[in-house]
Amino acid sequence: MTSNGFPTLDAHVGRWPIAGSFTISRGAKTEAVTVIAELRLGAIVGRGECVPYPRYDETPEATLSALLAMQGALASGLDRDGLQTAMPPGAARNALDCALLDLEAKRSGRRIWDLLGRRAPEPCVTAYTISLGAPEVMAKAAAKAAHRPLLKIKLGGDGDPARIAAVRTAAPQSQLIVDANESWTEANLETNLAACAEAGVTLVEQPLPAGQDDALARISRPLAVCADESVHDRNSLDALRGRYDAVNIKLDKTGGLTEGLAMADAARALGFEIMVGCMVATSLSMAPAMLLTPLARFVDLDGPLLLAEDCAHGLHYDGSLVYPPDQALWG
């Protein structure tokens, strides 16, 4: 704690081995690298975690530096409202925003949803991710997870109709959502959407590259399409109208829960359905996103299930059911 009663900030990088590997259209990884912000006020510590994402030119080193550069502003009284303009949206602001919220809750002795006037999160079903691979490999993984009610299937462009058909055969009862991670083209868009519709897929996430998705407005979409890389915060919502039916809200994109909640309210007002998503990270990253789940049709907060080991006081998962965080973890 600083001499004037404001919190002191520390931050560090966390490395978390993935159970096996995690593969999407942009590549594979065996480790989740996070950056954790810690705000100390006397004996109270507020914490937040983020995942720097190379897709947005973020690195752990640059994110850590951006956080530590805020030490002086915090020592001078920077609060959560001021943070929204003091830092741009992105991973670093997410960690600090969530740490400030955690600190608020711990100082008050109340849960953060009560302080914010939000509905308390309840246990809810999260998607479980099947990594991109050959159809037979994905089918084998889907068969092992076929008891789960909601599967998220990573796709990669060429060969996707065979992948989704194989997964559907292996998991006939599961609801399926698919994530192409910008890997489709205008040439194969309608063929791939038709294959998904035939397999009974409920939602397709980010089929085309961000900035090259105007074709979605020119076709008859046979199922709901969700924006991910094309949407970041409230400012990006208007451009999605007519192209997308839903938006994936990830706190590492919005720059924290403060903007995430505001974005969810704005998106619903515009008629978008809400998906709550995550990067591969620990329960400390998932916990703030749980406040968005009462507003969401789809919840994708399976990050800790993909890790070999979670952080201390991690979220409780009962199969695909994820429970709100304990105060010992966050909020």
Q: Which of 106, 152, 250, 253 is catalytic?
A: 250
Which domains occur in the chain, in start order? 8-112 (3.30.390.10), 124-322 (3.20.20.120)
Residue 144 bears catalytic tag: no
Give the pLDDT score at 2.
63
Give the pLDDT score at 183.
95
pTM of structure: 0.94
pLDDT averaged over 10-residue windows placed end to end, the chain, 331 residues: 81 93 73 96 97 94 98 96 97 98 97 98 97 96 97 94 98 97 95 97 97 94 96 95 97 98 98 96 98 98 95 97 98 96
Q: And the tokens for 257? A: 């829960």
Residue 250 bears catalytic tag: yes
Q: Which of 106, 152, 154, 253 is catalytic?
A: 154
Give the pLDDT score at 25.
65
